[in-house]
Amino acid sequence: MLPIVVGRTITEGWVSPNAPRLVQLLTPEEFCRQIAGRRIVDISRRGKYLLFHLDNDMRWAVHLRMTGRLLYEKNACAETPYLRATFRLDDSSWLCFVDLRKFGTMWLVDDESLVTAKLGPDALSEEFTPAYLQAVLKRRSAPVKAALLDQGAIAGIGNIYADEALFLAGISPKRAANSISKPRVARLHGAIRETLEVALGDRGSSFRDYLDPSGREGRHQLKVKVYSRTGEPCYVCGTSIKRVQLGGRSTHFCPKCQK
Ligand SMILES: [Zn+2]
């Protein structure tokens, strides 16, 4: 559907009032005002971003997230309660942004790196220090697990690694990020590094690699201690590993070892 719209001019934009977080950096009104009259000169992709190059050198960036879809319609956008934004084109066709869960986001920027480089420092980089982690956690009252998964704060900690690092540090994933003492944050920093270094040792082993118990557990492979072990005994204390949902992700921990 996408190449079809190259060369077309957006005549009018509309953002649903029930999608208040869709447009980033600008108000929806300002976004619609600025995008109107712009011609789409090219489309590219960068990671999970769809980038519309506009004739004034601006970029309209769209991140679909989990359930967002950008649909091309010849005559009109289909009526659905999940319609979050519409863009009318100069040949009377439409781009319709439909998003069940409303996690999708869009921007209008003059420099696409403002959007695509919005990742925090990599967890294995020198910038990621105990002090940096302390600063990230201090700003948040959300569960520490959710804070660790926020790629805009720290890049590279996936769901498995977060669970394993928190176990190694003896910190409950449910604990409010800003309630962790400085020495424990330092321990968590070390645990994140250790977990990632072990897991990514060779090249970043896939999870399948370390699920396989049959003698493949090389030096560089992470042996999961809590992830996906719901109901199994903790290797340290024997308590059953628990599973909860935190920030929409399944989270595994030992209720006795992690406080
Ligand atoms: Zn335990």
Starting at the edge strand that comes first in sequence, how are the strands of the sheet with 94-99 ordered?
10-15, 83-89, 94-99, 68-73
The string of pLDDT tens digits covering residues 74-101 is 999 988 999 999 999 999 999 999 998 8
What's the pLDDT at 75? 92
Residue pointed to by tokens 């489309």: 43
CA of 159 to the centre of ligand 1 (A): 19
d(CA 204, ligand 1 centre) in Å: 27
Query: Cα(170) to centroid of ligand 1, in Å?
Result: 9
Span 228-256, pLDDT tens digits: 899 999 999 999 999 999 978 899 999 99
pLDDT in tens, the chain (259 residues): 467 899 999 999 999 998 988 998 888 999 999 999 999 999 987 767 788 999 988 899 998 887 888 899 999 998 899 999 999 999 999 999 999 888 899 999 887 777 776 678 888 888 899 999 999 999 999 999 999 988 888 887 888 889 999 999 999 999 999 999 999 999 999 999 998 888 765 434 333 333 333 333 333 456 889 998 999 999 999 999 999 999 788 999 999 999 9
CA of 162 to the centre of ligand 1 (A): 16
Distance 137 CA to ligand 1 centre (A): 24
Q: Which two tokens stand for residue 219?
A: 């030096």
Distance of CA 187 from the midpoint of ligand 1 (Å): 17
Structure tokens at 160: 């498995």
Q: Please tell me the predicted confidence (pLDDT) of residue 218.
A: 36
The DSSP bridge pattern shows strands 59-63 and 49-54 to be antiparallel
Give the Å distance between the CA of 174 and the centre of ligand 1.
15
Place of tokens 């977990």: 195
3-state secondary structure the chain: CCHHHCCCEEEEEEECCCCCCCECCCCHHHHHHHHCCCEEEEEEEECCEEEEEECCCCEEEEECCCCEEEEEECCCCCCCCCEEEEEEECCCCEEEEEECCCCCEEEEECCCHHHHCCCCCECCCCCCCHHHHHHHHHCCCCEHHHHHHCCCCCECCCHHHHHHHHHHHCCCCCCEHHHCCHHHHHHHHHHHHHHHHHHCCCCCCCHHHHHCCCCCCCCCCCCCCCCCCCCCECCCCCCECEEEEECCEEEEECCCCCC
Q: How far is the CA of 213 from the centre of ligand 1 (A)?
A: 21
Total-model pTM: 0.54
Who surrounds ion ligand 1 at CB < 5 A?
A: 234, 236-237, 239, 254, 256-257
Q: How far is the CA of 139 from the centre of ligand 1 (A)?
A: 29
User: For residue range 48-63, what is the model confidence (pLDDT) as tens digits?
Assistant: 778 899 998 889 999 8
CA of 202 to the centre of ligand 1 (A): 29
Q: How far is the CA of 164 from the centre of ligand 1 (A)?
A: 12
Q: 193 C-alpha to center of ligand 1: Å?
A: 21
**Could you tell me the distance, in angstroms and rounded to a whole number, from the CA of residue 183 to the centre of ligand 1?**
20
What count of residues does the chain have?
259
How close is the Cα of 258 to the center of ligand 1, in Å? 7
pLDDT given for residue 103 in this prediction: 86
Q: Report the separation in Å between the CA atom of 120 and the middle of ligand 1, taken as the mean of its atom positions.
A: 31
Give the separation between CA 82 and CA 66, rounded to whole angstroms: 13
